Chain A
Protein backbone atom coordinates (compact mmCIF):
# COMPACT_ATOMS: atom_id res chain seq x y z
CA UNK A 1 0.00 0.00 0.00
CA UNK A 2 1.24 3.47 -0.89
CA UNK A 3 -0.30 6.14 1.30
CA UNK A 4 -0.58 9.52 -0.42
CA UNK A 5 -3.30 11.21 1.62
CA UNK A 6 -1.31 13.03 4.27
CA UNK A 7 -3.28 16.20 3.54
CA UNK A 8 -6.24 14.43 5.17
CA UNK A 9 -4.23 12.82 7.96
CA UNK A 10 -0.77 11.39 8.33
CA UNK A 11 -1.15 7.64 8.56
CA UNK A 12 2.51 6.88 9.12
CA UNK A 13 3.77 8.30 12.40
CA UNK A 14 7.05 7.94 14.24
CA UNK A 15 6.85 4.84 16.49
CA UNK A 16 7.31 7.01 19.57
CA UNK A 17 3.88 8.57 18.91
CA UNK A 18 1.92 5.38 19.50
CA UNK A 19 4.23 4.48 22.39
CA UNK A 20 3.48 7.83 24.01
CA UNK A 21 -0.27 7.36 23.52
CA UNK A 22 -0.24 3.91 25.12
CA UNK A 23 1.97 5.06 27.97
CA UNK A 24 -0.34 7.99 28.72
CA UNK A 25 -3.38 5.70 28.71
CA UNK A 26 -1.66 3.44 31.20
CA UNK A 27 -0.41 6.00 33.69
CA UNK A 28 -2.33 9.27 33.35
CA UNK A 29 -5.69 10.20 34.86
CA UNK A 30 -7.54 13.47 34.26
CA UNK A 31 -5.51 16.68 34.50
CA UNK A 32 -6.86 19.29 36.89
CA UNK A 33 -9.18 16.84 38.58
CA UNK A 34 -7.19 15.77 41.62
CA UNK A 35 -3.92 15.97 43.47
CA UNK A 36 -3.00 12.31 43.30
CA UNK A 37 -0.10 11.00 41.26
CA UNK A 38 -1.95 9.87 38.09
CA UNK A 39 -3.78 13.22 37.92
CA UNK A 40 -0.55 15.12 38.47
CA UNK A 41 1.18 13.03 35.82
CA UNK A 42 -1.59 13.91 33.36
CA UNK A 43 -1.40 17.60 34.21
CA UNK A 44 2.36 17.58 33.83
CA UNK A 45 2.16 15.83 30.46
CA UNK A 46 -0.39 18.28 29.09
CA UNK A 47 1.66 21.23 30.33
CA UNK A 48 4.83 19.88 28.73
CA UNK A 49 2.90 19.47 25.49
CA UNK A 50 1.90 23.14 25.67
CA UNK A 51 5.50 24.14 26.38
CA UNK A 52 6.79 22.16 23.40
CA UNK A 53 4.17 23.67 21.10
CA UNK A 54 4.80 27.20 22.42
CA UNK A 55 8.50 26.86 21.69
CA UNK A 56 7.93 25.26 18.28
CA UNK A 57 5.57 28.02 17.12
CA UNK A 58 7.21 30.93 18.98
CA UNK A 59 4.31 31.63 21.31
CA UNK A 60 5.26 33.78 24.33
CA UNK A 61 3.43 31.70 26.95
CA UNK A 62 2.21 28.09 27.13
CA UNK A 63 -1.11 29.43 28.41
CA UNK A 64 -1.76 30.75 24.92
CA UNK A 65 -1.62 27.21 23.54
CA UNK A 66 -5.12 25.72 23.59
CA UNK A 67 -5.55 22.03 22.81
CA UNK A 68 -8.51 21.43 20.52
CA UNK A 69 -10.15 18.46 18.82
CA UNK A 70 -8.91 19.47 15.37
CA UNK A 71 -8.21 22.56 13.26
CA UNK A 72 -11.94 23.10 12.59
CA UNK A 73 -12.58 23.39 16.31
CA UNK A 74 -9.89 26.06 16.67
CA UNK A 75 -11.03 27.98 13.60
CA UNK A 76 -14.58 28.07 14.94
CA UNK A 77 -13.39 29.53 18.25
CA UNK A 78 -11.26 32.15 16.51
CA UNK A 79 -13.82 33.15 13.89
CA UNK A 80 -16.71 33.36 16.35
CA UNK A 81 -14.62 35.61 18.58
CA UNK A 82 -13.73 38.13 15.90
CA UNK A 83 -16.55 37.90 13.38
CA UNK A 84 -20.23 38.67 13.78
CA UNK A 85 -23.14 39.54 11.53
CA UNK A 86 -22.00 42.04 8.91
CA UNK A 87 -18.30 41.87 9.76
CA UNK A 88 -16.27 42.39 6.59
CA UNK A 89 -13.87 39.49 6.21
CA UNK A 90 -11.16 39.11 3.57
CA UNK A 91 -10.27 35.52 2.71
CA UNK A 92 -8.25 33.83 0.03
CA UNK A 93 -9.88 31.86 -2.73
CA UNK A 94 -8.32 28.71 -1.29
CA UNK A 95 -10.15 28.44 2.02
CA UNK A 96 -11.46 25.17 3.36
CA UNK A 97 -15.04 24.80 4.56
CA UNK A 98 -13.61 24.86 8.09
CA UNK A 99 -13.26 28.58 7.44
CA UNK A 100 -16.08 29.26 4.99
CA UNK A 101 -18.89 27.55 6.90
CA UNK A 102 -18.29 29.29 10.24
CA UNK A 103 -18.11 32.61 8.38
CA UNK A 104 -21.41 31.80 6.71
CA UNK A 105 -22.94 30.73 10.03
CA UNK A 106 -22.16 34.02 11.76
CA UNK A 107 -23.41 36.14 8.86
CA UNK A 108 -20.10 37.66 7.82
CA UNK A 109 -19.72 39.73 4.66
CA UNK A 110 -17.01 37.74 2.97
CA UNK A 111 -14.79 39.00 0.18
CA UNK A 112 -13.01 36.14 -1.57
CA UNK A 113 -9.70 37.08 -3.15
CA UNK A 114 -8.64 35.00 -6.09
CA UNK A 115 -5.46 34.45 -8.04
CA UNK A 116 -4.49 31.33 -9.97
CA UNK A 117 -2.58 28.63 -8.07
CA UNK A 118 1.10 29.65 -7.60
CA UNK A 119 0.44 33.28 -8.60
CA UNK A 120 1.81 34.55 -5.32
CA UNK A 121 2.19 38.13 -6.48
CA UNK A 122 -1.37 38.20 -7.78
CA UNK A 123 -2.72 36.94 -4.49
CA UNK A 124 -0.75 39.52 -2.55
CA UNK A 125 -1.99 42.32 -4.79
CA UNK A 126 -5.58 41.20 -4.26
CA UNK A 127 -5.14 41.24 -0.46
CA UNK A 128 -3.36 44.60 -0.46
CA UNK A 129 -6.38 46.18 -2.09
CA UNK A 130 -9.11 44.33 -0.19
CA UNK A 131 -7.68 44.79 3.29
CA UNK A 132 -8.45 48.51 3.09
CA UNK A 133 -12.13 47.59 3.38
CA UNK A 134 -11.89 44.59 5.73
CA UNK A 135 -12.41 44.20 9.47
CA UNK A 136 -10.84 40.74 9.76
CA UNK A 137 -8.60 38.60 7.56
CA UNK A 138 -8.62 34.79 7.45
CA UNK A 139 -6.14 32.97 5.26
CA UNK A 140 -4.84 29.49 4.77
CA UNK A 141 -1.08 29.03 4.67
CA UNK A 142 -1.16 26.19 2.12
CA UNK A 143 -4.06 25.13 -0.08
CA UNK A 144 -5.23 21.65 0.85
CA UNK A 145 -6.17 21.10 -2.80
CA UNK A 146 -3.22 22.39 -4.81
CA UNK A 147 -0.47 22.74 -2.23
CA UNK A 148 0.25 26.33 -3.25
CA UNK A 149 1.87 28.33 -0.47
CA UNK A 150 0.18 31.64 0.16
CA UNK A 151 2.25 34.73 1.07
CA UNK A 152 0.98 34.79 4.63
CA UNK A 153 3.99 36.66 6.03
CA UNK A 154 3.29 39.58 3.71
CA UNK A 155 -0.49 39.36 4.24
CA UNK A 156 0.04 39.38 8.01
CA UNK A 157 2.25 42.46 7.66
CA UNK A 158 -0.48 44.23 5.69
CA UNK A 159 -2.94 43.34 8.44
CA UNK A 160 -0.63 44.69 11.15
CA UNK A 161 -0.20 47.96 9.24
CA UNK A 162 -3.97 48.35 9.11
CA UNK A 163 -4.72 47.05 12.60
CA UNK A 164 -6.78 44.16 11.21
CA UNK A 165 -6.87 40.89 13.18
CA UNK A 166 -5.33 38.05 11.19
CA UNK A 167 -6.41 34.41 11.57
CA UNK A 168 -4.12 31.82 10.00
CA UNK A 169 -5.28 28.36 9.04
CA UNK A 170 -2.07 26.33 9.29
CA UNK A 171 -3.74 23.00 8.60
CA UNK A 172 -1.40 22.04 5.78
CA UNK A 173 1.71 23.92 6.88
CA UNK A 174 2.15 23.08 10.57
CA UNK A 175 4.96 20.56 10.76
CA UNK A 176 6.12 21.28 7.22
CA UNK A 177 6.82 25.02 6.95
CA UNK A 178 7.94 27.46 9.65
CA UNK A 179 4.96 29.01 11.45
CA UNK A 180 5.99 31.85 13.74
CA UNK A 181 3.15 33.17 15.87
CA UNK A 182 5.13 36.11 17.29
CA UNK A 183 6.56 37.45 14.05
CA UNK A 184 3.25 37.06 12.20
CA UNK A 185 1.47 38.97 14.96
CA UNK A 186 -1.55 36.77 14.33
CA UNK A 187 -4.71 37.01 16.37
CA UNK A 188 -5.10 33.24 16.13
CA UNK A 189 -3.43 30.33 14.41
CA UNK A 190 -5.36 27.07 14.14
CA UNK A 191 -3.96 23.71 13.09
CA UNK A 192 -4.63 20.00 13.34
CA UNK A 193 -2.37 17.79 15.40
CA UNK A 194 -2.81 14.76 13.19
CA UNK A 195 -1.43 15.92 9.84
CA UNK A 196 2.05 17.43 9.57
CA UNK A 197 2.55 17.43 13.32
CA UNK A 198 2.25 13.62 13.24
CA UNK A 199 0.03 13.31 16.31
CA UNK A 200 -3.09 11.15 16.65
CA UNK A 201 -6.45 11.97 15.08
CA UNK A 202 -8.67 14.00 17.38
CA UNK A 203 -5.92 16.47 18.27
CA UNK A 204 -5.58 20.09 17.27
CA UNK A 205 -4.03 23.33 18.46
CA UNK A 206 -5.23 26.93 18.66
CA UNK A 207 -2.56 29.55 19.33
CA UNK A 208 -4.26 32.53 20.92
CA UNK A 209 -3.40 36.20 20.82
CA UNK A 210 -6.61 37.04 22.66
CA UNK A 211 -9.07 35.54 25.12
CA UNK A 212 -12.03 34.33 23.09
CA UNK A 213 -15.37 32.95 24.21
CA UNK A 214 -15.85 29.24 24.58
CA UNK A 215 -17.77 26.95 22.26
CA UNK A 216 -18.64 24.54 25.08
CA UNK A 217 -18.90 25.21 28.79
CA UNK A 218 -18.40 22.79 31.64
CA UNK A 219 -16.05 21.70 34.34
CA UNK A 220 -12.45 22.84 34.32
CA UNK A 221 -11.38 21.56 37.73
CA UNK A 222 -11.03 25.17 38.91
CA UNK A 223 -13.25 27.95 40.22
CA UNK A 224 -16.03 25.46 40.76
CA UNK A 225 -18.30 27.89 42.61
CA UNK A 226 -18.56 30.12 39.58
CA UNK A 227 -21.49 29.46 37.24
CA UNK A 228 -19.55 30.77 34.24
CA UNK A 229 -16.36 29.73 32.53
CA UNK A 230 -13.06 31.14 33.84
CA UNK A 231 -11.72 34.29 32.21
CA UNK A 232 -8.23 32.89 31.63
CA UNK A 233 -6.61 30.62 29.08
CA UNK A 234 -6.30 27.79 28.33
CA UNK A 235 -8.89 26.44 30.77
CA UNK A 236 -11.55 28.82 29.43
CA UNK A 237 -11.58 26.89 26.16
CA UNK A 238 -10.95 23.38 27.47
CA UNK A 239 -13.95 22.18 29.50
CA UNK A 240 -14.35 18.51 30.24
CA UNK A 241 -11.76 15.79 30.38
CA UNK A 242 -8.92 16.38 27.99
CA UNK A 243 -7.48 14.07 25.38
CA UNK A 244 -4.38 13.25 27.40
CA UNK A 245 -3.20 10.34 25.21
CA UNK A 246 -3.66 12.63 22.22
CA UNK A 247 -1.54 15.33 23.82
CA UNK A 248 1.13 12.72 24.56
CA UNK A 249 1.19 11.56 20.96
CA UNK A 250 1.13 15.10 19.62
CA UNK A 251 4.09 16.07 21.78
CA UNK A 252 6.00 13.01 20.56
CA UNK A 253 5.25 13.95 16.95
CA UNK A 254 6.43 17.53 17.41
CA UNK A 255 9.57 16.39 19.21
CA UNK A 256 10.31 14.11 16.26
CA UNK A 257 10.01 17.08 13.90
CA UNK A 258 12.27 19.18 16.11
CA UNK A 259 14.95 16.54 15.89
CA UNK A 260 14.54 16.02 12.17
CA UNK A 261 14.24 19.69 11.25
CA UNK A 262 11.44 21.30 9.27
CA UNK A 263 13.77 22.26 6.44
CA UNK A 264 14.48 18.61 5.70
CA UNK A 265 10.80 17.69 5.78
CA UNK A 266 9.86 20.50 3.39
CA UNK A 267 12.74 19.78 0.98
CA UNK A 268 11.88 16.08 0.94
CA UNK A 269 8.21 16.72 0.22
CA UNK A 270 8.96 19.29 -2.48
CA UNK A 271 11.30 16.96 -4.30
CA UNK A 272 8.68 14.20 -4.22
CA UNK A 273 5.98 16.49 -5.56
CA UNK A 274 8.19 17.59 -8.44
CA UNK A 275 8.92 13.95 -9.22
CA UNK A 276 5.26 13.03 -9.01
CA UNK A 277 4.22 15.89 -11.28
CA UNK A 278 6.59 14.59 -13.95
CA UNK A 279 5.14 11.08 -13.52
CA UNK A 280 1.47 11.96 -13.88
CA UNK A 281 1.18 15.18 -15.89
CA UNK A 282 -0.40 14.90 -19.33
CA UNK A 283 -1.71 11.33 -19.17
CA UNK A 284 -5.24 10.76 -20.50
CA UNK A 285 -5.60 14.51 -20.80
CA UNK A 286 -4.99 15.05 -17.10
CA UNK A 287 -3.20 18.20 -16.03
CA UNK A 288 -1.08 18.29 -12.89
CA UNK A 289 -0.93 21.73 -11.29
CA UNK A 290 2.54 22.40 -10.00
CA UNK A 291 4.85 25.24 -9.21
CA UNK A 292 7.47 25.73 -11.89
CA UNK A 293 10.19 26.73 -9.45
CA UNK A 294 9.04 24.25 -6.81
CA UNK A 295 9.32 26.81 -4.03
CA UNK A 296 5.66 27.82 -3.99
CA UNK A 297 4.27 24.34 -3.38
CA UNK A 298 4.16 22.11 -0.33
CA UNK A 299 3.54 18.36 -0.36
CA UNK A 300 0.22 18.39 -2.21
CA UNK A 301 -0.46 17.89 -5.93
CA UNK A 302 -3.80 17.91 -7.72
CA UNK A 303 -4.50 16.51 -11.17
CA UNK A 304 -7.46 17.85 -13.15
CA UNK A 305 -9.09 15.53 -15.65
CA UNK A 306 -11.30 17.04 -18.36
CA UNK A 307 -12.61 13.61 -19.35
CA UNK A 308 -12.28 11.17 -16.45
CA UNK A 309 -14.23 11.40 -13.22
CA UNK A 310 -11.78 12.18 -10.43
CA UNK A 311 -13.58 9.85 -8.02
CA UNK A 312 -13.27 6.98 -10.50
CA UNK A 313 -9.56 7.64 -10.88
CA UNK A 314 -9.11 7.76 -7.10
CA UNK A 315 -11.10 4.56 -6.65
CA UNK A 316 -9.10 2.78 -9.34
CA UNK A 317 -5.86 3.87 -7.72
CA UNK A 318 -7.20 2.63 -4.39
CA UNK A 319 -7.94 -0.80 -5.88
CA UNK A 320 -4.32 -0.87 -6.97
CA UNK A 321 -3.02 0.01 -3.51
CA UNK A 322 -2.48 3.74 -3.95
CA UNK A 323 -4.39 5.81 -1.38
CA UNK A 324 -5.37 9.23 -2.74
CA UNK A 325 -8.45 11.40 -2.54
CA UNK A 326 -10.79 12.55 -5.28
CA UNK A 327 -13.44 15.27 -5.23
CA UNK A 328 -13.55 18.83 -3.96
CA UNK A 329 -11.60 18.14 -0.75
CA UNK A 330 -14.02 20.24 1.34
CA UNK A 331 -12.64 23.32 -0.40
CA UNK A 332 -15.00 24.28 -3.23
CA UNK A 333 -13.61 27.82 -3.26
CA UNK A 334 -10.20 26.51 -4.27
CA UNK A 335 -11.76 24.71 -7.21
CA UNK A 336 -13.73 27.80 -8.21
CA UNK A 337 -10.47 29.75 -8.15
CA UNK A 338 -8.79 27.15 -10.37
CA UNK A 339 -11.84 26.80 -12.61
CA UNK A 340 -12.53 23.11 -11.98
CA UNK A 341 -15.35 23.14 -9.46
CA UNK A 342 -17.59 21.05 -11.71
CA UNK A 343 -15.11 18.18 -11.92
CA UNK A 344 -12.90 18.29 -8.83
CA UNK A 345 -9.43 16.82 -8.75
CA UNK A 346 -7.39 13.77 -7.88
CA UNK A 347 -5.21 14.81 -4.97
CA UNK A 348 -1.88 13.26 -4.01
CA UNK A 349 -0.22 14.34 -0.77
CA UNK A 350 3.07 13.12 0.62
CA UNK A 351 4.64 12.98 4.05
CA UNK A 352 7.99 12.43 5.73
CA UNK A 353 7.80 8.68 5.15
CA UNK A 354 6.92 8.77 1.47
CA UNK A 355 9.79 7.57 -0.72
CA UNK A 356 10.87 8.36 -4.25
CA UNK A 357 10.42 4.67 -5.10
CA UNK A 358 6.79 4.88 -4.00
CA UNK A 359 6.28 7.95 -6.17
CA UNK A 360 7.74 6.20 -9.22
CA UNK A 361 5.57 3.16 -8.55
CA UNK A 362 2.55 5.43 -8.17
CA UNK A 363 3.37 6.97 -11.54
CA UNK A 364 3.42 3.56 -13.21
CA UNK A 365 0.12 2.53 -11.61
CA UNK A 366 -1.48 5.87 -12.40
CA UNK A 367 -0.54 5.72 -16.07
CA UNK A 368 -1.96 2.21 -16.39
CA UNK A 369 -5.14 3.14 -14.56
CA UNK A 370 -6.00 6.30 -16.45
CA UNK A 371 -5.32 4.80 -19.86
CA UNK A 372 -7.72 1.94 -19.08
CA UNK A 373 -10.60 4.04 -17.71
Chain B
Protein backbone atom coordinates (compact mmCIF):
# COMPACT_ATOMS: atom_id res chain seq x y z
CA UNK B 1 0.00 0.00 0.00
CA UNK B 2 1.60 3.29 -1.07
CA UNK B 3 1.26 6.58 0.79
CA UNK B 4 0.90 10.22 -0.13
CA UNK B 5 2.10 13.17 1.90
CA UNK B 6 0.25 16.47 2.31
CA UNK B 7 2.75 19.15 3.30
CA UNK B 8 1.22 21.72 5.68
CA UNK B 9 2.33 25.23 6.48
CA UNK B 10 2.24 24.72 10.26
CA UNK B 11 1.82 22.09 12.91
CA UNK B 12 -1.62 23.44 13.81
CA UNK B 13 -2.65 23.50 10.16
CA UNK B 14 -1.49 19.91 9.82
CA UNK B 15 -3.51 18.97 12.89
CA UNK B 16 -6.61 20.60 11.45
CA UNK B 17 -5.98 18.87 8.13
CA UNK B 18 -5.64 15.53 9.84
CA UNK B 19 -8.78 16.11 11.91
CA UNK B 20 -10.90 17.05 8.89
CA UNK B 21 -9.73 14.02 6.93
CA UNK B 22 -10.39 11.65 9.82
CA UNK B 23 -13.86 13.11 10.24
CA UNK B 24 -14.45 12.37 6.55
CA UNK B 25 -13.46 8.75 6.99
CA UNK B 26 -9.96 9.09 5.53
CA UNK B 27 -7.21 7.71 7.75
CA UNK B 28 -4.62 10.43 8.26
CA UNK B 29 -1.37 10.33 10.19
CA UNK B 30 0.51 13.41 11.31
CA UNK B 31 4.28 13.25 10.98
CA UNK B 32 7.39 15.34 10.53
CA UNK B 33 7.91 16.26 6.89
CA UNK B 34 10.96 14.88 5.08
CA UNK B 35 13.58 17.61 4.75
CA UNK B 36 13.58 17.06 0.99
CA UNK B 37 10.13 18.59 0.56
CA UNK B 38 9.93 21.30 3.21
CA UNK B 39 12.06 23.91 1.43
CA UNK B 40 11.76 26.29 4.43
CA UNK B 41 13.28 23.98 7.01
CA UNK B 42 11.44 21.76 9.48
CA UNK B 43 7.77 21.12 8.99
CA UNK B 44 4.85 18.76 9.36
CA UNK B 45 2.80 16.78 6.91
CA UNK B 46 -0.15 14.42 6.90
CA UNK B 47 0.29 10.93 5.50
CA UNK B 48 -2.65 9.26 3.80
CA UNK B 49 -3.13 6.35 1.42
CA UNK B 50 -2.28 7.36 -2.11
CA UNK B 51 -5.59 5.86 -3.24
CA UNK B 52 -7.36 8.50 -1.10
CA UNK B 53 -5.37 11.47 -2.40
CA UNK B 54 -7.92 12.85 -4.87
CA UNK B 55 -10.79 12.50 -2.40
CA UNK B 56 -8.71 14.00 0.40
CA UNK B 57 -7.78 17.07 -1.64
CA UNK B 58 -11.45 17.58 -2.52
CA UNK B 59 -12.48 17.27 1.14
CA UNK B 60 -9.83 19.80 2.12
CA UNK B 61 -10.79 22.19 -0.65
CA UNK B 62 -14.37 22.26 0.64
CA UNK B 63 -13.05 23.14 4.10
CA UNK B 64 -10.77 25.88 2.73
CA UNK B 65 -7.72 23.92 3.82
CA UNK B 66 -5.00 23.93 1.22
CA UNK B 67 -1.80 21.95 1.71
CA UNK B 68 1.43 23.58 0.61
CA UNK B 69 2.10 20.52 -1.53
CA UNK B 70 1.12 16.93 -2.17
CA UNK B 71 3.69 14.18 -2.78
CA UNK B 72 3.71 10.55 -3.75
CA UNK B 73 6.60 8.13 -3.96
CA UNK B 74 7.94 7.41 -7.39
CA UNK B 75 9.18 4.01 -8.57
CA UNK B 76 12.73 5.00 -7.71
CA UNK B 77 11.76 5.69 -4.08
CA UNK B 78 11.93 9.46 -4.33
CA UNK B 79 9.08 11.81 -3.54
CA UNK B 80 7.34 13.39 -6.49
CA UNK B 81 5.07 16.42 -6.25
CA UNK B 82 1.55 16.23 -7.63
CA UNK B 83 -0.60 19.25 -8.46
CA UNK B 84 -2.86 20.61 -5.71
CA UNK B 85 -6.00 22.09 -7.24
Q: Which residue of B lies closest to A48 (CB)?
A: B15
Chain B, interface size category, equals: 10 to 19
- C-alpha spacing A40/B15, complex, angstroms: 10
In the complex, chain B residues whose CB is within 8 Å of the CB of A34: 32
Establish whether residues B16 and A222, one from each chain, have CB atoms under 8 Å apart when the complex forms. no
- Chain A interface helix/strand/loop/mixed: loop
Contact B11 A62 (CB under 8 A): no
In the complex, per-residue mask of B1-28: 1 if CB is within 8 Å of any chain A CB, else 0: 0000000011111011001000000000
Contacts of A32 in B (CB 8 A): 11, 44
Minimum distance in angstroms from B43 CB to a CB of chain A:
5
A44 within 8 A of B: yes
A213 at the binding interface (Cβ < 8 Å): no
B42 A234 Cβ-Cβ under 8 A: no
B16 interface neighbour in A40, A43, A63, A230, Cβ under 8 Å: A63
A35 to B32 alpha-carbon distance, docked (Å): 5
A207 to chain B, nearest CB (A): 14
A63 contacts across to B, CB distance below 8 A: 10, 12-13, 16
Tell me whether A223 and B12 are in contact in the complex, defined as CB-CB below 8 angstroms, given that A35-B31, A43-B30 are known contacts: no
A152 CB to nearest chain B CB (Å): 28
Interface 1/0s, chain A 49-79, versus B by CB < 8 A?
0110000000001110000000000000000
Give chain B's interface residues, CB within 8 Å of chain A. 9-13, 15-16, 19, 30-32, 39-44
List 6 other contacts, CB 8 Å, given A32-B44, A61-B16: A32-B11, A44-B15, A51-B19, A224-B42, A225-B40, A232-B9
Query: 25 A-B residue contacts at CB 8 Å?
Result: A32-B11, A35-B31, A35-B32, A43-B11, A43-B30, A44-B15, A47-B15, A63-B10, A63-B12, A63-B16, A222-B9, A222-B11, A222-B41, A223-B40, A223-B41, A223-B42, A224-B40, A224-B42, A225-B40, A232-B9, A232-B13, A234-B12, A235-B10, A235-B11, A235-B12
